[in-house]
Chain A
Amino acid sequence: MKLGGWGRYPLIEAKIKSPTSIKELIELISLGSAIGRGNGRSYGDSSISKQNTICMKNFNKILEFDNKNGLIVAESGVMLSEIIKSFLHRGWFPKVTPGSKYVTIGGMVACDVHGKNHHKDGSFGNYIEWLEIITSDGEIKRCSRKNHSELFNWTIGGMGLTGIILRVAFYLHPVTTSWIKQKIIPTKNIDHAIEIFEENLNTTYSVAWIDCLSRGNNLGRSLVMLGEHANVLDLNPNMKNDPLIIKSKKKIRIPFNFPSFILNFFTIKIFNFIYYSLGKKKKYKLVDYDTFFYPLDYLLDWNKIYGSNGFAQFQCVLPLKEAKLGMREILDTLSFFKSNSFLTVLKRFGKQESYLSFPMEGYTLTLDFPIAKKNIDLMKKLDEITLKYKGRFYLAKDSRMSSYTLEKSDARFEKYRKFRSSKMKKSFSSVQSKRLEL
């Protein structure tokens, strides 16, 4: 069947099996060219192997939980949404969460995801105690910072290419309410936004939504959103009855592929304008965790709004020192190409010490574009700018980068190639790993 990532580009004819036992899983691995797949929420081709895609949806059990320290052991196919559903009302929340809760734990490890608190708390990998992984010899290896530490370190952010992740032990974080105190600060331009980030490095959560149509002095005007977990004392009296409430809200399903002209210049302009004027009025308020962390999860299948050709997301990080300059150059390039990104997100990253993880201290920018020749050319240009400023790329989003670009941007992948012995390389590969020659 045809498989794609969340961007629905590229769509690739691929064999996919959903094993129901470890025995079946090991048999599938022995066929070679295997890649694990969770909920298919990486954007491009990283969870697709033409010959042997292994869907882990049946490995979806929560195995242990220690309510003293928050250590949870779960099979890799468990979705983050399931963990939140079961544990938030008991006062536990993931320490690191990406912008969608419909991701599996296995995928969170393979991409070493980050959240709005990266500048303070680092990436998901920091909170993993151990992993169990089925390697190319069909053995289940439990690895951690102490045991099989090389395998452990390369697996975090390793895009599933070291083996099939089976079980993960990681820490949840204690919270007293399910609410976030949110403050929105409108900024004049990108420099201003970066200043706001730098002034708020002590705030737990921060992210900015950029109006990428603004030009000149207003280039990169944005809404910086700051957040902290609310305490019971912060809540209104009626909220205090159930401070850890999980409200299930009605989701909107995008029913069909929008024709791509819907997303033309004007729609985006209006969209951004409304958002911007709303933001000006709000200063500080309590929002529920779902609204704060997962705004796009309200729109089920929101990837369909980009039309039937699908879309690509571009996410790079630039080192702190030249971030202002580099970000301005990227936004200028967008206007030069007369291309607009429906959703443009800027975020401050903190230091990151790990083998392969995407973040580095600096600023990350996320853009998405409907698939069209013009936008593919634009993204190539953005690759060049990223290289020029010594930045790097997030493989969870990538569907089109060249192996040359990856090699130029990130010397760590050369070491990863060496770690991936010929046997490992034969056993595990994805369409992405072949494209990037990993």
Chain B
Amino acid sequence: MSKDTALIIGARSDIGIAVAHSFAKEGYDIQLAAKNINSLNANKSDIELRHEVGVSLHDFDALDIDSHEHFVSLLPKLPNVVVCAVGYMGVQEENERDLLTAVNVLRTNFEGPAGILAVLANRFEQRGSGTLVGISSVAGERGRAKNYIYGSAKAGFTAFLSGLRNRLAKKGVHVITVLPGFVATKMTKEMNLPSKLTAQPDEVAIAVLNAVKNKHNIIYVKKIWLLIMKVIRCIPEHFFKKMKL
């Protein structure tokens, strides 16, 4: 019997690497995909040696939409689970000033991830099995002055995942939306995050693995974020627009 395989897209991210370890620990073979993939050679041997599984490396550029079909056809095996951890926050002030920067953020968080998952979704649908996991963000739940460019792209991605789940629910393919809240990663290194609300990449990885096992639909990593976002969504716009959040 051949082993299950998990494909991690955006594997250079801290969440991506942590997710790779959590699946490898369960015995999955791992496919890592990212730009300049050869710089992840050390991660490849690390995962192989710690967990005694096979790891393959695949060059992938989320923004090069034309290459997505080809990328999937080059995979040694169509994976059983795909986790897309591609994301880029940018700096809000720059995103406001410079349209090209903003477009880059929009494309990296929405167009790229949606594009590759769309291709994989079709293959999974054909096969009649598989799980697609998108790492989206609570920032997409309501636009805030602080990060609405990033947030709006994530909102798009969340809606995409929701629609995809709806479409594939009867086709044997499961779609999971992950809304991690704050996570202590390279991306948030310079931000001063409250420790009670901040998850470690490992916690996200365990949550993703559990969601795949238990076929959850939408998960928050730290439960408190479910409550926080409920409250934030309930605030009337009249007040919300004047608030500093």
Asked whether, in the complex, the Cβ of B186 is within 8 Å of the Cβ of A62, the reply is no
Does chain B have a CB within 8 A of A381? no
Q: Which residues of B contact A65 (CB under 8 A)?
A: 49
Q: By the criterion CB–CB under 8 Å, are A86 and B49 in contact? A: yes
B170 within 8 A of A: no
Q: What is the bound-complex CA distance between A63 and B42, given in angstroms?
A: 6
Chain B nearest CB, measured from A434 CB (Å): 29
Would you call B70 an interface residue if the criterion is a C-beta within 8 Å of the partner chain's C-beta atoms?
A: no
Residues of A within 8 A of B186 (CB): 20
- Does B162 sit at the interface, judged by CB under 8 A? no
Q: Which chain B residues numbered 32 to 68 have a C-beta less than 8 Å away from chain A? A: 42-43, 45-46, 49-52
Residues of A within 8 A of B51 (CB): 86
Let me know if A50 is at the binding interface, CB within 8 A: no
Which chain A residues in 44-80 approach chain B with CB under 8 Å?
61-65, 75
- A61 partner residues in chain B, CB cutoff 8 A: 42-43, 45-46
Closest to B51 in A: A86
B205 CB to nearest chain A CB (Å): 15
A82 lies within 8 A of B50 (CB): yes
Name B109-141 residues within 8 Å CB distance of A: none
Within 8 A of A (CB), among B141-187: 186
Within 8 A of A (CB), among B179-202: 186
Among A20, A63, A85, A90, the residue within 8 A (CB) of B46 is A63
Q: Which of A20, A75, A86 contacts B50 (CB 8 A)?
A: A86
A4 to B42, CA, bound (A): 31
Within the complex, the shortest CB–CB distance from A65 to chain B, in Å, comes to: 5
Interface size on B, residues (CB 8 A): 9
Contact of A64 with B45 in the complex, beta carbons under 8 Å? yes
Q: How far is the CA of A62 from the CA of B43 in the complex (A)?
A: 8
Q: Which A residues are in CB contact (< 8 Å) with B45?
A: 61-64
Residue of chain B at shortest CB distance from A60:
B46
User: Cα distance A82–B51 when bound, in Å?
Assistant: 11
CA distance A61 to B55 in the complex (A): 15
Bound CA–CA A86/B25 (angstroms):
10
Question: What's the Cα separation between A61 and B17 when bound, in Å?
Answer: 11
Chain A residue at smallest Cβ distance from B43: A61
Interface membership of chain A positions 72-112, coded 1 if the CB is closer than 8 angstroms to chain B and 0 otherwise: 00010000001001100010000000000000000000000
Binary A-proximity of B72-99 (CB < 8 A = 1, otherwise 0): 0000000000000000000000000000
Q: For B41, give the chain A residue with the smallest CB separation.
A: A63
Contact residues of A between 337 and 364, Cβ < 8 Å to B = none
- Give the distance to chain A from B19, nearest Cβ to Cβ, in Å: 16
A213-B54 Cα distance, complex, nearest whole Å: 56
Contacts of A90 in B (CB 8 A): 52
- The interface residues of chain B lying within 8 Å CB-to-CB of A20 are 186
Task: List the B side residues contacting A64 at CB < 8 Å.
Answer: 45, 49
A112 to B28, CA, bound (A): 37
Query: Which residues from A are CB-within-8-Å of B52?
Result: 90
- Give Cα distance in the complex from A90 to B52, angstroms: 10
CA distance A90 to B186 in the complex (A): 34
**Chain A minimum-CB-distance residue to B39:** A21
Hey, which chain B residues are within 8 Å of A82, CB to CB? 50
Query: With a CB–CB cut-off of 8 A, which chain B residues contact A63?
Result: 42, 45-46, 49
Bound complex: CA of A86 vs CA of B49, how far in Å? 8
What's the minimum C-beta distance from B46 to chain A, rounded to whole angstroms?
Answer: 4
Interface centre among A64, A85, A86, A90 (most CB of B within 10 A): A86
Least distance between A23 CB and chain B CB atoms (Å)? 11
Q: Closest CB of chain B to A47's CB: distance in Å?
A: 21
**Whole-angstrom distance between the Cβ of B179 and the nearest chain A Cβ:** 25
Interfacial chain A residues near B50, Cβ < 8 Å: 62, 82, 85-86
What is the CB-to-nearest-CB distance from A390 to chain B, in angstroms, rounded to a whole number? 45
Chain B: minimal CB distance from A104 (Å): 15
User: Smallest Cβ distance from B194 to chain A, in angstroms?
Assistant: 16
**CB closest residue in chain A, given B42:** A61
CB distance from B67 to the nearest CB of A (A): 26
| Docked complex: A367-417 residues within 8 A CB-CB of B | none
Interface centre among B42, B49, B51, B186 (most CB of A within 10 A): B49
**Most chain B C-beta atoms within 10 Å of own C-beta, residue among A20, A62, A65, A82:** A62
CA–CA, A90 to B43, complex, Å?
A: 21
Specify which chain A residues have a CB less than 8 angstroms from the CB of B42 in the assembled complex.
61, 63, 75
State the CA gap A349–B51 with chains docked (Å).
Answer: 36
Chain A min CB distance to B186 (Å): 6
Residue in B43, B50, B51, B52 whose Cβ sees the most chain A Cβ within 10 Å: B50
Shortest C-beta distance, B176 to chain A (Å), equals 28
CB distance from B33 to the nearest CB of A (A): 19
B50 nearest CB neighbor, chain A only: A86
> Which chain A residue has the least Cβ–Cβ distance from B186?
A20
A354 to B110, CA, bound (A): 58
Nearest A residue to B45 by beta-carbon distance? A63
Residues of A within 8 A of B49 (CB): 62-65, 86
Chain B CB within 10 A, most for which of A61, A63, A90? A61
CA distance A65 to B52 in the complex (A): 11
Cα distance, A86 to B46, chains bound together (Å): 10
Q: How far apart are the CA atoms of A292 and B132 in the complex, in Å? A: 45
Closest to A90 in B: B52
Kindly state the separation between the CA atoms of A374 and B30 in the bound complex, as whole angstroms. Answer: 58
Closest chain-A Cβ to B4's Cβ sits at a distance in Å of: 21
A120, chain B: closest CB distance, angstroms: 29
Query: CA separation between A86 and B51, bound complex, in Å?
Result: 7
In chain A, what residue has the closest Cβ to B49?
Answer: A62
Chain B residue with the shortest CB-CB distance to A65: B49
Q: What would be 22 A-B contacts, judged by CB atoms less than 8 Å apart?
A: A20-B186, A61-B42, A61-B43, A61-B45, A61-B46, A62-B46, A62-B49, A62-B50, A63-B42, A63-B45, A63-B46, A63-B49, A64-B45, A64-B49, A65-B49, A75-B42, A82-B50, A85-B50, A86-B49, A86-B50, A86-B51, A90-B52
Q: 4 tightest CB-CB pairs across the interface, nearest first?
A: A61-B46, A86-B50, A62-B49, A61-B42
A62-B46, A63-B49 known; 7 new pairs, CB 8 Å cut-off, are A20-B186, A61-B42, A62-B50, A63-B42, A82-B50, A85-B50, A86-B49
